[in-house]
């Protein structure tokens, strides 16, 4: 898999993509993550990529031309399954979207910035707009980082225990069951006896019941 991230401030993501699971996945050759500075694709001598919006509204807008130049340069080298724009008014990013994107071959993530991007980019170059929540960030770099992490960890081989990813919250539209580790008792706080019983069937039933209980209490919307 290859993920190309286009940003006005790519240095903000440099450390993130070269640590932990993302770094290991790249070293194993499971994924390539490339950062692209949008300013490298402008003809402006000051390397500006933004301008005032027509109509006199507030804020600054990222221009069409540098985005088109960057995306066109990438597309000239390979085909892409998705060109994603991180936007607060896009579709909600969740585990199902992460699952879907993890099966793609190549994707581009364009990080929003300032007041946003020229609408013509959204109409002619973007295939999918995704939001990580109903709030506005200074830029889309954090959203791109969240999405990249959620996607890459699902690629087989990225984490040592692949079953761990399959049992994450939201994979089956429920929250995960409570989890415990050693010691079995601490300050009088005990691990449930069923988890120490070794009875696989009872443990799986306990996990399902607790997961359902937590979901009904905390996120009942998931059960709809």
- Mean model confidence pLDDT for the chain: 94
CATH superfamily of 2-152: SPOUT methyltransferase, trefoil knot domain (3.40.1280.10)
- Strands 106-111 and 2-7 come out as parallel
Q: How far apart are CA 120 and CA 84, in angstroms?
A: 14
Q: pLDDT: is 172 or 216 the higher one?
A: 216
Q: Mean pLDDT throughout 217-224?
A: 93
Domain 167-223 CATH class label: mainly alpha
Q: How far apart are CA 34 and CA 154, in angstroms?
A: 19
Which pLDDT score is estimated for 207?
95
Q: Mean pLDDT throughout 131-152?
A: 96
Which pLDDT score is estimated for 173?
87
Per-residue pLDDT band at 85 (split at 50, 70, 90)? very high
Q: How far apart are CA 42 and CA 65, in angstroms?
A: 7
Q: Mean pLDDT throughout 199-214?
A: 96
Preceding omega of 182 cis (within 30 degrees of 0): no
* pLDDT above 90 as % of the chain: 90
Binding residues: 112, 132-137
Measure the CA angle with vertex 60, ends 58 and 66; round to 5°: 155
Which pLDDT score is estimated for 160?
77
Per-residue pLDDT band at 119 (split at 50, 70, 90)? very high
Which pLDDT score is estimated for 172?
82
Q: Mean pLDDT throughout 89-106?
A: 97
Which pLDDT score is estimated for 166?
63
Q: Mean pLDDT throughout 92-109?
A: 97
Binding residues for S-adenosyl-L-methionine: 112, 132-137
Q: Which pLDDT tens digit goes with each residue over 153-201?
A: 999 999 977 666 666 778 788 999 999 999 999 999 999 999 999 999 9
Which pLDDT score is estimated for 167?
60
Q: Mean pLDDT throughout 7-17?
A: 96
Burial code of 181-212, b = ≥16 C-beta within 10 A, e = fewer?
eeeeeeeeeebeeebeeeeeeebeebbeebbe
Q: Mean pLDDT throughout 115-132?
A: 97
Q: Where are the domains of the chain?
A: 2-152, 167-223
3-state secondary structure the chain: CEEEEEECCCHHHHHHHCCHHHHHHHHCCCCEEEEEEHHHHCCCCCCCCEECCCCCCCCCEECHHHHHHHHHHHHCCCCCCEEEEEEEEEEECCHHHHHHHHCCCEEEEEECECCEECHHHHHHCCCEEEECCCCCCCECHHHHHHHHHHHHCCCCCCCCCHHHHHCCCCCCCCCCCCCCCCCCEECCEECCHHHHCCCHHHHHHHHHHHHHHHHHHHCHHHHC
Q: Is the pLDDT of residue 78 over 80?
A: yes
């Amino acid at each position: 898999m290859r993920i190309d991230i286009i940003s006005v401030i790519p240095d903000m993501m440099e450390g993130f993509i070269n640590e932990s699971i993302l770094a290991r996945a790249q070293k194993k050759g499971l994924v390539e993550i490339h950062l692209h500075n949008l300013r490298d694709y402008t003809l402006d001598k000051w390397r500006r990529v933004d301008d005032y919006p027509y109509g006199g509204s507030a804020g600054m807008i990222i221009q069409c031309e540098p985005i088109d130049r960057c995306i066109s340069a990438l597309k000239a080298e390979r085909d892409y399954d998705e060109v994603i724009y991180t936007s607060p008014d896009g579709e909600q990013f969740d585990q199902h979207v992460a699952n879907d994107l993890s099966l793609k071959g190549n994707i581009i993530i364009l990080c929003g910035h300032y007041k946003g991007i020229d609408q013509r980019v959204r109409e002619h170059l973007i295939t999918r707009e995704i939001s990580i929540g109903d709030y506005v960030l200074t830029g889309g770099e954090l959203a791109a980082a969240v999405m990249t992490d959620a996607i890459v960890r699902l690629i087989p081989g990225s984490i040592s225990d692949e079953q761990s990813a399959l049992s994450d919250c939201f994979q089956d539209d429920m929250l995960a069951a409570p989890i415990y580790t050693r010691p079995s008792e601490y300050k009088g706080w005990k691990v449930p006896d069923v988890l120490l019983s070794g009875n696989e069937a009872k443990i799986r039933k306990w996990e399902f019941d607790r997961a359902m209980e937590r979901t009904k209490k905390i996120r009942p919307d998931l059960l709809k």
